[in-house]
Chains A and B, each alone.
Chain A
Amino acid sequence: MIAWRTSGSIHMLVQRCTLDQHRLIVPVSLTKPAFESGSFSASFSQNRYRALVDTGAQRTVATRSVIASQNLMRTGHTQFKGIHEPRTHTRYLAAIGLWARRIDQADSSAAYEQAEQTLFSIREPIEIVNMDDNSNFDLILGFDVLKNFSFSFDQDTRIFQLAVAQ
């Protein structure tokens, strides 16, 4: 976990959310990576998408609208298990960042709400697949993204926390 000490307190980048109809939704940004001189880079806008946390997914999925609005580059195809039969979807290259707040490890929830949000970008682009649009969320965050974070769920407060991991 990325944490640093200032005057005796430990700070870290976290995103907290409560259950939304027994689902976890977190704010993320997504953009088309640039490629120059053999390496990738990303410049994000302030656009935020609703991302469902799904620890059972091996790969992140995004709606066709999100992919079209960001003009993502097609890279190939992926076959995956469907409920009735195998399905083939298109893969796209994307840079993804999670909106998080920089807080003291011991901060109260009030302090968390007051902390300014900052975007933590995952170091390398990932390949996502497309899905049809729906009214509940814009992306499904799979373990290709979630592996970059520590996460926990507090049964008493019903709060889910994602923290930036090394």
Chain B
Amino acid sequence: MAMHEQSESNYRWFRNNLSNFIPQHKGLHALLHDCDVDDYFRSSLEAIAAGLAKYGEGNFSVELVDDRMEDLGFYSHVGSALHA
């Protein structure tokens, strides 16, 4: 499966199941492969390194187990409105 497809399908599956992961893994970074959680890591970079070593580029994705949103400053408050 290509990286784009794997990343998108993993994300859809992850969002649908996020409420199940939060109680025990909130704040950790989930390494996802073929719509399943492989493992959890303290940092996203650790998860990416593990994914590259185990599956190779294009065959995994990483998502934060949290429902909070980030603030992207200018882009959040002005830039994104240009494209809304």
Task: Return the chain A residue nearest B32 by Cβ.
Answer: A76
Q: Is the CB of A56 within 8 A of B81?
A: no
Q: How far is the CB of B81 from chain A (nearest CB, A)?
A: 4
Q: Is the CB of B74 within 8 A of A52?
A: yes
Q: How far is the CB of A106 from chain B (nearest CB, A)?
A: 34
Cβ of A75 < 8 Å from any Cβ of B? yes
A-B contact pairs, 19 of them (CB 8 A): A54-B75, A57-B74, A57-B75, A58-B70, A58-B72, A59-B72, A74-B3, A76-B10, A76-B11, A76-B63, A77-B61, A77-B63, A81-B70, A81-B71, A82-B76, A83-B80, A90-B7, A140-B75, A140-B79
B residues 38-84 near A (Cβ < 8 Å) are 44-45, 48-49, 52-53, 57-58, 61-64, 69-84
| Cβ 8 A contact of B70, one of A73, A80, A84, A134 | A80
Q: Is the CB of A57 within 8 A of B72?
A: yes
Q: Which residues of B contact A (CB under 8 A)?
A: 3-4, 7, 10-11, 32, 44-45, 48-49, 52-53, 57-58, 61-64, 69-84
Binary contact track A58-87/B, C-beta < 8 Å → 1, others 0: 110100000000000111111111111111
B81 contacts across to A, CB distance below 8 A: 82-84
Q: Is the CB of A131 within 8 A of B69?
A: no
Q: Which residues of A contact B (CB under 8 A)?
A: 35, 38-40, 52, 54-59, 61, 73-87, 90, 93, 124-125, 127, 129, 131-132, 134, 140, 142
Task: Return the chain A residue nearest B76 by Cβ.
Answer: A81
Q: Is the CB of B72 within 8 A of A142?
A: yes
A93 contacts across to B, CB distance below 8 A: 48
